[in-house]
């Protein structure tokens, strides 16, 4: 028993264990094995196989859980499919009541769920009790609101159907909430697979669904490992896959779903920068580091794991960090005075150890808390690497443990360069008392979430998700709802008729006839008309098979040159929306001065004079539409915490590849290229292969319309070949493809490389002359990614 004197000397907390009797009783009730939750019933695995679940704080087995087979997944998908018609047809208000009832029950069971989560995952009870579970309840309340407002706020949108959802082990119940709440609010039904390390709170949630009276089959939970997840991904009757986990598995899922028509959102890994400027409140920033990398044992996809410290304050800051690290208490997650709990599993602990060893082998200096670690269970001391290089493994790889790396920088320019020097782009943190500098840095971060003078803040009202290899799609906020909705017009589109036309040939046209307009269109790269690298052109035929000219046969080298030119034109994204609008208006103005010429070209291709004139007029109007939208499709301020503005900004992707379909040669081109550049992207566009000449005629319009060099690049040639090169290219951040269903599948598969965002026509025919189909906010949404910047205010 410590004396008062000794307690006063150390000011240390004594142990304060949280009781877990209710949980052990509950686990005992299920001693024979937890079952899947399918169609409102708890059912055993079809082959009766179970797997063990461990308490990471002791290494002891605490439960046995059904291992999902292909048949189990199929049964769950069928149950979800059966429940879909009536659930999706419920008025939003009725669904809101269900979500509200779930939120209430979660709140009533907060303590139970918190203790269970800590026992299953190893996270300190302080975190599960004060962060995870309250956020879970908040998520269901928030999305009860979207269910209520769906009909008025998302007019013209409807649910997707059955959603397959696969979640990781780091925030088990919170990730479930992030997935299930928006899916149900939008009117979908779900099959969710929890992570194999941490399935228990999902099963407790299944009990809550029953108690809340949720109709059978609306939520189904199938437990199991990666193989079970793969069955869900590959199931033909699933309409959407939402995944959170490692980038490796994200890539596998991208490739597996390619061409299936399944909507996909991926929330993957990160190596997020944590920038400390020399004018920062250093003590606050030290607490920030505690929350950034030692919170949840660093097992956080958006953990601020790369500390970038301005040189002048680096020694002082590191000294403060070392002191603070020593005061962190590591131990039993159920002890209320513990800061750092257990690592989720022995395999994960092993992975952390290996990466840390590699860091030392590569010359890094490891600073580690001298705290005593419990004798049992999977624990790792809070750690910090210094003396590391930007290319070191520990600087580049996600460690997913309580290990930060620290580097220094001199200027804000250097900080931004280092921060963005990663293949990931999930989150970033900036500490500075100079709000101008902090916001300027935030704007330049290639990351989906940026916290200013704070870190790891989450709320249901703000979207969360990544750039680059951290995935695509957002969870939370209005933006997150779109991941579970489809516009009615998209669903109603017919399939592209099997057409295609003959392969492009560099040989002279077979037909002796000639329409008389003989000009060889070049490519348009970096603002210049250039010959194709191949030196070849192909004959462009009209609908009667008569040659009406030649177009360059572009190849991969031309695409690479075009991407390089587009990369260099980065100033376009920084131009004001007003400036971009002016350029678009100017394009429209110059096109209207040449209506007769363009209509003549379309007529020569085989259109009637009337239809040709209409297409040119429609193109002008479409350009006006996107000029108008350039400064109107703006972001939001989300209502998250008090004394905090959370800015949701629409940012361009950067370089986009656009492959046009075969319909409406001019209007189809304009309909895809204009929204992309209106939002600040630079594009490499491939016009319809068989009638590219209306698009190539636009070169002269571009040249006279103040379009900066490299903003629009046009490469003609074989769509599928050029699409492959664009999909493979790491500089291309987003790809739009219009073509056959097989072509869609090919680009989605190839895009798995750098996990670029893709938007394809899914083999459907877009009628560009239909105003509801051919233009709208859908295009702008696909041309932008949302960055949420959190800015606290007040002293």
Task: Establish if 439 lies at the interface with ligand NAI (CB under 6 A).
Answer: no
249 forms part of the interface with ligand NAI (CB under 6 A):
yes
Compute the least distance from the CB of residue 323 to ligand NAI, in Å: 29
- Binding ligand NAI (rule: CB under 6 A), the pick from 74, 132, 239, 398 is 398
Among positions 122, 159, 164, 245, the unique one binding ligand NAI when judged by CB under 6 A: 245
Query: Closer to ligand NAI at the Cβ: 252 or 595?
Result: 252
Angle value at C-alpha 680, between 778 and 660, nearest 5 degrees: 55
Q: Which residues lie below 8 Å from residue 323, measured CB to CB, with a gap of 6+?
A: none
Sign of CA dihedral 693, 697, 698, 702: positive
CA angle 761, 722, 525 (to 5 degrees): 110
Query: In the range 259-278, which residues lie near ligand NAI by CB under 6 A?
Result: 268-269
Site string for ligand NAI, 307-346 (x = CB under 6 A): ----------------------------------------
Q: How far is the CB of 170 from ligand NAI (least distance, A)?
A: 5
Least Cα distance to 664 among 699, 686, 629, 695 occurs for 695
Out of 18, 267, 615, 778, which one is annotated catalytic? 267
The two tokens of residue 530 are 């250039």
Q: Which one among 38, 45, 105, 230 touches ligand NAI, defined by CB under 6 A?
A: 230
Say whether residue 225 binds ligand NAI (CB under 6 A): yes
With helix as H, strand as E and coil as C, how does 560-609 read?
HHHHHHHHHCCHHHHCCHHHHHHHHHHHHHHHHCCHHHHHHHHHHHCCCH
Of the residues 163, 209, 223, 301, only one is catalytic, namely 301
Residues 351, 560, 621, 769: which binds ligand NAI (CB under 6 A)? Answer: 351
Interacting positions 93-152 with ligand NAI (CB under 6 A): none
The smaller minimum CB distance to ligand NAI, of residues 228 and 725, is found at 228
Angle (CA) 467-472-475 rounded to 5° is 105
Cβ(683)–Cβ(502) below 8 Å: no
* Cα–Cα distance, 60 to 56 (Å, whole number): 7
Nearest-10 Cα torsion for 333, 338, 340, 342: -20
Separation between Cα atoms, residue 18 and residue 336, nearest integer Å: 7
C-alpha closest to that of 673 among 484, 524, 553: 524
What is the x/- site pattern for ligand NAI, positions 193-212, by CB under 6 A? x-xx----------------
Residue 424 interacts with ligand NAI (CB under 6 A)? Answer: no
Q: Is 267 noted as a catalytic residue in this protein?
A: yes
Q: Residues 530 to 549: which contact ligand NAI by CB under 6 A?
A: none
> For residues 302 and 309, which CB has a smaller minimum distance to ligand NAI in the complex?
302
Residue carrying the six token digits 């996909």: 264
How many residues touch ligand NAI under the rule CB under 6 A: the total is 26
C-beta of 400: minimal distance to ligand NAI in Å?
Answer: 4
Q: Return the residue of 252, 515, 595, 628 that touches ligand NAI, per CB under 6 A.
A: 252
Site string for ligand NAI, 549-588 (x = CB under 6 A): ----------------------------------------
Residue 353 dihedral angles phi and psi, to the nearest 5°: -60, -45
Query: Closer to ligand NAI at the Cβ: 129 or 193?
Result: 193
Q: DSSP 3-state assignment of 102?
A: helix
Question: Does residue number 168 form part of the binding site for ligand NAI (CB under 6 A)?
Answer: yes
Among positions 229, 273, 663, 739, the unique one binding ligand NAI when judged by CB under 6 A: 229
Q: Is 660 a catalytic residue?
A: no
Name the β-bridge partners of 686: 659
Please identify, using beta-carbon distances, which residue of 298 and 554 lies nearer to ligand NAI: 298
* Sequence-separated (6 or more) residues with CB below 8 Å from residue 566: 655, 682, 683, 684, 710, 711, 713, 731
Among 141, 146, 400, 458, binds ligand NAI (CB under 6 A): 400
427 phi/psi in degrees, rounded to 5: -145, 170
58, 246, 393, 700: residue in contact with ligand NAI (rule CB under 6 A): 246
Question: Cα separation of 221 and 199, whole Å?
Answer: 9
Contact residues for ligand NAI (CB under 6 A)? 166-170, 193, 195-196, 225-226, 229-230, 233, 244-246, 249, 252-253, 268-269, 301, 348, 351, 398, 400
Which residues are identified as catalytic?
Answer: 267, 301
């Amino acid at each position: 028993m410590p004396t008062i004197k000794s307690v006063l000397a150390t000011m240390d907390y004594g142990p304060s264990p949280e009781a877990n009797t209710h949980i052990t009783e509950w686990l005992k009730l299920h001693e024979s094995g937890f079952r899947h939750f399918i169609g409102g019933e708890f059912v055993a695995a079809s082959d009766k196989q179970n797997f063990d679940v461990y308490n990471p704080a002791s290494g002891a087995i605490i439960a046995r859980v059904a291992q999902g087979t292909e048949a189990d997944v199929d049964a769950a998908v069928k149950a979800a499919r059966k429940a879909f018609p009536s659930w999706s047809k419920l008025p939003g208000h009725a669904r809101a009541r269900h979500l509200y009832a779930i939120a209430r029950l979660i709140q009533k069971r907060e303590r139970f769920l918190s203790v269970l989560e800590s026992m299953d995952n190893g996270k300190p009870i302080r975190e599960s009790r004060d962060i995870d579970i309250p956020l879970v309840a908040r998520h269901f309340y928030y999305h009860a609101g979207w269910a209520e407002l769906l009909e008025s706020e998302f007019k013209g949108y409807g649910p997707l159907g059955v959603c397959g959802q696969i979640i990781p082990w780091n925030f088990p119940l919170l990730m479930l909430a992030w997935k299930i709440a928006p899916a149900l609010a939008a009117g979908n039904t779900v099959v969710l697979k929890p992570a194999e390390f941490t399935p228990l709170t999902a099963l407790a949630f299944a009990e809550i669904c029953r108690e809340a009276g949720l109709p059978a089959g609306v939520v189904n939970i199938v437990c199991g490992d990666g193989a079970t997840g793969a069955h869900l991904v590959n199931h033909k009757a699933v309409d959407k896959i939402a995944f959170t986990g490692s980038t490796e598995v994200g890539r596998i899922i991208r490739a597996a779903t390619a061409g299936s028509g399944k909507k996909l959102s991926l929330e993957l890994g990160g190596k997020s920068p944590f920038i400390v400027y020399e004018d920062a409140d250093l003590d606050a920033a030290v607490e920030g580091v505690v929350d950034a990398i030692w919170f949840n044992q660093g097992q956080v996809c958006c953990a601020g794991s790369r500390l970038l410290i301005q040189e002048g304050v680096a020694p002082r800051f590191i000294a403060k960090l070392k002191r603070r690290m020593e005061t962190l208490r590591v131990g039993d997650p159920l002890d209320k005075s513990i800061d750092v709990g257990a690592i989720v599993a022995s395999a994960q602990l092993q992975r952390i150890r290996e990466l840390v060893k590699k860091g030392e082998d590569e010359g890094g200096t490891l600073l580690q808390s001298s705290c005593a670690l419990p004798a049992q269970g999977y624990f790792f001391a809070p750690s910090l690497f210094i003396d590391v290089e930007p290319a070191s493994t520990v600087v580049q790889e996600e460690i997913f443990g309580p290990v930060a790396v620290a580097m220094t920088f001199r200027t804000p320019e250097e900080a931004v360069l280092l921060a963005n020097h990663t293949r990931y782009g999930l989150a970033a943190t900036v500490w500075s008392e100079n709000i101008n500098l902090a916001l300027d840095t935030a704007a330049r971060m290639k990351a989906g979430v940026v916290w200013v003078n704070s870190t790891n803040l989450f709320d249901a009202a703000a979207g969360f998700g990544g750039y680059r290899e951290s995935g695509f799609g957002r969870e939370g906020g209005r933006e997150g709802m779109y991941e579970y909705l489809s516009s009615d017009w998209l669903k109603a589109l017919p399939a592209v008729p099997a057409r295609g036309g003959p392969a492009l040939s560099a040989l002279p046209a077979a037909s002796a006839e000639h329409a008389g307009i003989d000009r060889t269109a070049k490519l348009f790269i970096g603002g210049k008309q250039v010959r194709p690298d191949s030196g070849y052109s192909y004959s462009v035929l009209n609908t009667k098979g008569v040659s009406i000219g030649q177009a360059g046969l572009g190849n991969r080298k031309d695409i690479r040159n075009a991407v390089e030119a587009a990369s260099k034109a980065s100033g376009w994204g920084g131009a004001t929306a007003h400036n971009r609008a002016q350029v678009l208006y100017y394009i429209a103005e110059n096109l209207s001065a040449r209506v007769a010429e363009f209509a003549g070209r379309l007529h020569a291709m085989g259109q009637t004079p009337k239809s040709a004139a209409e297409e040119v007029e429609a193109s002008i109007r479409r350009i006006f539409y996107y000029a108008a939208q350039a400064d109107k499709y703006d972001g939001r301020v989300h209502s998250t915490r008090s004394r905090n503005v959370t800015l949701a900004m629409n940012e361009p992707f950067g370089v986009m590849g656009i492959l046009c379909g075969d319909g409406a040669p001019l209007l189809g081109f304009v309909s895809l290229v204009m929204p992309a550049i209106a939002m600040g992207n630079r594009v490499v566009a491939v016009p319809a292969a068989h009638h590219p000449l209306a698009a190539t005629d636009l070169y002269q319009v571009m040249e006279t319309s103040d379009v900066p060099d490299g903003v629009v690049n046009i490469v003609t040639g074989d769509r599928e070949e050029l699409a492959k090169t664009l999909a493979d290219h790491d500089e291309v951040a987003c790809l739009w493809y219009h073509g056959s269903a097989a072509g869609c599948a090919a680009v989605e598969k190839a895009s798995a490389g750098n996990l670029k965002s893709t938007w394809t026509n899914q083999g459907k025919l877009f009628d560009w002359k239909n105003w509801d189909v051919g233009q709208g906010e859908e295009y702008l949404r696909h041309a932008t990614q949302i960055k949420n910047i959190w800015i606290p205010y007040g002293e």
